[in-house]
Amino acid sequence: IPTRNRVSRFLLEVEKRGFALDFPTIAMAGLTFWAVLVGVIAVVIAFPLSFPTTVFDPKVLHQIAKDAIEQGGLNRTAVVYNTIAGMKARYPNDIKEAPKWVFNNAGGAMGSMLILHASFSEYIIIFGSAIGTEGHTGRFLADDWFHILTGEQWAYEPGALQKEVYKAGAQHHLKWGVAKGYKMPDECWALEYARGNIAAMLPFGYFDTFFSTIDFITLWDTTWISAKFMLENLLKGKV
């Protein structure tokens, strides 16, 4: 009882001084602090990456995707895994298939992805959705190439009155600093390659977890796989 009285007096004193303490406020403040901290750290890490070491060529990736589509035909599973096999054959020292697929929630869109490469200057994933999705591409300190394997991806920039349409075999280049709205109207899978300050892209991939999905299992899986791949590449001298 004395302890309870001391707590009550403390809260009363806080209210007198013009403050209000409640659990939702404290929890939201804590989440906001950590989200901002992650963003600041990502940007700070990004500065030393002005001169990254790149391995992958978008033209080569585009050809690998087109070859996989030709081999797989209408069999979407064959197209996706032929793409992965083609990537491993062309880049045997740099492509490493993640142990599992994970969800990806970012910019209001939801899909699933399989990480094939992650370093501080490049990443490659298979990304898409079996039911379609729609959202914001993000605005990055990086170039991002989507190589459509199955289905369609639509996109538009502010002021555009007609959508861009990217079908299987097409390459959609989201340039450094550019943002678009995008949609996969139905099932769609793509080979995605990003080149630039990958660390600065992390907040975009994390914020939906804290402010929407609260799916910390997916957050853990994504962080663990990405960090493992990045560290392995860093130890090989690949920034």
Does residue 91 share a domain with residue 13?
no
Same domain, 111 and 18: no
Residue 31: per-residue pLDDT: 64
Q: What is the mean pLDDT of the chain?
A: 88
pTM over 0.85: no
On the question of pLDDT at 222 being above 80, the answer is: yes
One domain, residues 219 and 119: yes
Both 87 and 149 in one domain: the answer is yes
pLDDT at 43 over 80: no
The 10s digit of each residue's pLDDT in 128-156 is: 999 999 999 999 999 999 999 999 999 99
Please indicate, yes or no, whether residues 118 and 71 belong to a single structural domain of this protein.
Answer: yes
Residues in the chain: 239
Q: If you ran DSSP here, which 8-state letter would residue 96 be given?
A: -
Give the pLDDT of residue 40: 65
Q: Which domain covers residue 8, as residue numbers? A: 2-49
Helix (H, G, I), strand (E, B) or coil at 37: helix
Asked if 104 and 174 sit in the same domain, the reply is yes
- Are 121 and 23 members of one domain? no
pLDDT above 80: residue 212: yes
Average pLDDT over residues 3-17: 60
pLDDT higher than threshold 80 for residue 25: no
Residue 190 clears pLDDT 80, i.e. is over it: yes
Tally of domains within the chain: 2
Beta strand residue intervals within 7-141, DSSP E = 102-106, 109-118, 122-129, 133-136
Handedness of CA 142, 57, 103, 174 (dihedral sign): positive
208 falls in which pLDDT band (50, 70, 90)?
very high
Is the domain of 72 the same as that of 38?
A: no
Q: What is the pLDDT of residue 53?
A: 75
- Asked if residues 116 and 97 have their Cβ atoms less than 8 Å apart, the reply is yes
Same domain flag for 104 and 157: yes
User: What pairs with residue 165 in β-bridges?
Assistant: 154
pLDDT at 136: 98
Confidence of residue 65 (pLDDT cuts 50, 70, 90): very high
User: Does residue 173 share a domain with residue 106?
Assistant: yes
* Per-residue pLDDT, 237: 86
**Per-residue pLDDT at 142:** 96
Long-range CB contacts (within 8 A, 24+) of 211-216: 211/31, 211/35, 212/105, 213/105, 215/103, 215/105
pLDDT band at 22 (very low <50, low <70, confident <90, very high): low
CATH assignment of the domain containing 220: 2.60.120.10
The model's confidence at residue 5, banded by pLDDT at 50, 70 and 90, is low
Question: Mean pLDDT across the stretch 94-115?
Answer: 96
Residues 62, 179, single domain; the answer is: yes
> What would the two tokens of residue 95 be?
């492509």
Tell me the backbone φ, ψ of residue 155, rounded to 5 degrees.
-155, 160
3-state SS of 182-236 is EEECCCEEEEEEEEECHHHHHHHHHHHHHHHHCCHHHHHHHHHHHHHHHHHHHHC
Asked if residue 184 and residue 157 are part of one domain, the reply reads yes
End-to-end C-alpha distance for the chain, whole angstroms: 59
- CA dihedral in degrees (71, 75, 76, 78; nearest 10)? -50
